[in-house]
Amino acid sequence: MVTKNYQHINLTYLDLMTDGDPETRNTLLDLLVEELQTVPAQLREAFERSEWVAALGIAHKMKSSLAFVGNDELIRSNQALWQGLHEKRDPAGLAVHLDALERLSPLAEAELLKEKKSQ
């Protein structure tokens, strides 16, 4: 499958894992869009409620999802957030990574939707 040039996604890994199966690819695109629509708000809510275990679990789950999205900055921000939560660092210092997830997720989501419509 030929992946178009996008600024906020790189679907090379997704294409490798779906091995040309359009149904599986479409299902994964749907799941990724849904996660990018919901997870940043779930993380923000967990942060605001000081629910660090929940935030850690959400960030951990996103590690595999973001590999399919292929946005390096999203991957790095999520990894830094997860690592900081795992090491029980001061959450105030981790907010910059959450801010990046909230800023970049809609951009990646828009390109995933564009890719989905172009199939």
**Orientation angle between helical segments 22-48 and 95-117, nearest 10 degrees:** 160
Write out pLDDT tens, residues 88-116: 999 999 999 999 999 999 999 999 999 99
pLDDT of 2 strictly over 60: no
Share the mean pLDDT of the chain.
94
Domain boundaries, the chain: 12-117
58 within 8 A of 43, measured Cβ to Cβ: yes
pLDDT of 72 strictly over 90: yes
pLDDT of 24 strictly over 90: yes
pLDDT at 119: 81
Summarize the confidence of residues 13-31 as an average pLDDT.
96
Q: Which residues of 92-113 are buried (b: 16+ CB within 10 A; e: fewer)?
A: eebeebbebbeebbebbbebbb
pLDDT of 59 strictly over 80: yes
